[in-house]
A and B are shown apart, each in its own frame.
With several copies, the nearest count.
Chain A
Amino acid sequence: MEYSDKVLDHFSNPRNVGELTDADGIGEVGSPACGDIMKMYIKVEDGKIADVKFKTFGCGAAIATSSMATELIKGQPLEEALKLTNKAVVEALEGLPPVKIHCSVLAEQAIKSAISDYYTRLGVDPLPIVGPIKDTHCHAHFH
């Protein structure tokens, strides 16, 4: 398996690790049995992601994609953050090995999940805005 320098950089110096005690939305995806859990905390101000933190249990790619994804949405308006695709995360990381692509999907879903939670707390139905959160299965990478 080959990781790009970018992946290794984000893995060894992950950005935005931690929690936000005053988060406006928290999302968690993955499962311990699958070996990947991502938890994202967002702080929203003026419709923008003012701050974001993550905690991840998972492989090197899971940590790197969490780090990169949070970097990519930090300071972005919510609608922009929602447009972040796993493909964009992969590209920003200069590629991921095929078996690790599912980590980028997980990162995309974690963000959506956190934004969903933000709308839910506001009393707004997130479904029309965020769409369904995909239930990423362990073998997502085989597809």
Chain B
Amino acid sequence: MSMERFVYADNAATTPVSEEVLKAMLPYFREGYGNPSSIYQKGRDAAKAIRLARDKVARGIGAQPEELYFTSGGSEADNWAIKGVVEALAKKGKKHIITTAFEHHAVLHVCQSLRKHGIETTYLEVGPLGVVKAEDVAAAIREDTALVTIMYANNEIGTIQPIAEIGKICREKGILFHTDAVQALGNLEIDVKAQNIDLLSLSGHKIHAQKGVGALYIRKGVRIPNLIEGGGQEGGHRAGTENVPAIVGLGVAVEIATKDIQARADKTRKMRDRLIDEITKLPRTRLNGDREHRLPGNVNVSFEGIEGESLLLMLDLRGVAASSGSACTSGSLDPSHVLLSIGLVHEVAHGSLRLSITHETTEEDIDHILKVLPPVVEQLRAMSPLWENIVKGENR
């Protein structure tokens, strides 16, 4: 099949490393390769590069550089934050976590596996719109609550959570608050101080840095044990020789991503709204998640009667890369826990499509998506026994 155009509409799964980021990284592979712990010039240069990157990342979220610890990505940051807080506080009798039903698996699976260590978790409902209520958080707080961990924005349906409100409640009640901001970074303003965030996870590859690098912000005064112990890197809090090129790239990526957020978001939102408006004109097609409290680049729709994976493969053959549910779980055949959490029935959850665009997406890209998507949906419905039944039911 000849492909007129290739539109990458899966930026929530991962992004290409940008030219600027790669350019910043390249000197650290074969020239600036010193170990940042080494005392000689090459080592000191590497240490300095990391310091400058830390400053940039800190600035991007309103933190102090000493409050930032580089990790191997968002998953490690989530694991460290939650296991760390729980280990620090369980011995004081605090054995309860509050989270939502639609967190990323890097949060959910940690909470689930902590159960066998006697940690109880409350999974708050997010309702049909996919937004948790701050008052529900307040109501769930108990004497023994150690941690509230609620994502800043959902990775599948893009809904934005009331982080500042939750932060305020937690600070007032003296409870630690962690947020997985992997999807929010670069899309929404983050200010850990104003928003009363105690711990925050971020990941590089969603904002045009390398895969395998991220960071955990830990507010000064909060002490949690290490997840990875060993050498004295990261102020003694995260062992392992630092991934210098990736960290340098993360610094540049955060700097770029947190500049002009408003203007970029406005541009992206316009394209997103066009996609939503046009796609939801198709029969038996619905938007998943709140339309207003939504990441500027996220479109998540369900088409009754078709299955997501075959939809993705067809779209790919026609030059559109997208996702059905979260890429992280697409190895599994279970329907997305996020879509189930907002009340979709299994067969509709199976037929979902996530398009995630950025301000670099063009109107021509949107045109292309809108050109190829409807016939693909039609084609798959034509071969679907489920669609046949739906249509029969309608005509009955």
Residue B2 at the chain A interface, CB threshold 8 Å: no
Stretch binding the partner chain, chosen from A56-64, A80-88, A116-124: A56-64
Give the number of chain B interface residues (Cβ < 8 Å).
34
Knowing A1-B39, A2-B47, A99-B332, the reply to whether A60 touches B385 (Cβ < 8 A) is: no
Contact of B310 among A33, A60, A141 (CB under 8 A): A60
Known: A2-B51, A60-B39. A35 touches B44 (CB 8 A): no
Set of chain B residues within 8 Å of A33, measured between Cβ atoms: 345-347
Q: How far is the CA of A57 from the CA of B310 in the complex (A)?
A: 9
Would you give 7 A-B contacts (Cβ < 8 Å), ordered by A?
Answer: A1-B47, A2-B44, A12-B1, A18-B383, A28-B385, A37-B384, A56-B383
B370 proximal to A (CB < 8 A): no
Tell me the minimal C-beta distance from A61 to chain B in angstroms: 8
Given contacts A17-B383, A39-B385, A62-B307, 16 further A-B contacts (CB under 8 A): A1-B37, A12-B314, A14-B383, A18-B383, A32-B347, A32-B350, A35-B307, A35-B333, A36-B307, A57-B385, A58-B307, A59-B307, A63-B383, A99-B333, A102-B333, A141-B333
* Chain A 125-143: CB-based contact to B (< 8 A → 1; otherwise 0): 0000000000000110100
Check B123 for interface membership: any CB of A closer than 8 A: no
Query: Which one of A14, A56, A60 contacts B384 once the chains associate, using CB atoms below 8 Å?
Result: A56
Return B337 CB to nearest CB of chain A, in Å: 14
Against A, the Cβ 8 Å flags (1 = close, 0 = not) of B158-173 are 0000000000000000
Q: Which residues of A contact B (CB under 8 A)?
A: 1-3, 8, 11-12, 14, 17-18, 28, 32-39, 54-60, 62-63, 99, 102, 138-139, 141
Q: Is A57 within 8 A of B307, CB to CB?
A: yes
Q: Assuming A12-B317, A60-B313, is B386 touching A34 (CB within 8 A)? A: no
Bitwise interface map of B from 33 to 44 toward A, beta carbon under 8 Å scored 1, else 0: 000010100011
Q: Which residues of A contact B334 (CB under 8 A)?
A: 138
Per-position 1/0 for B356-392, Cβ under 8 A of A: 0000000000000000000000000011111110000
* A53 closest partner in B (C-beta): B383
- Tell me which residues across on chain A come within 8 A of B307, comparing CB atoms: 35-36, 57-59, 62
Q: How far is the CA of A3 from the CA of B330 in the complex (A)?
A: 14
Verify if B309 is at the interface (C-beta below 8 Å from A).
yes
List the B side residues contacting A12 at CB < 8 Å. Answer: 1, 313-314, 317
B44→A37 contact, CB < 8 A: no
**Chain B residues, CB < 8 A from A11:** 310, 313
Cβ of B305 < 8 Å from any Cβ of A?
A: yes
Cβ–Cβ contact A62 & B383, under 8 A: no
Asked whether A57 lies within 8 Å of B306 as measured between CB atoms, the reply is yes
Q: Which residues of B contact A39 (CB under 8 A)?
A: 385
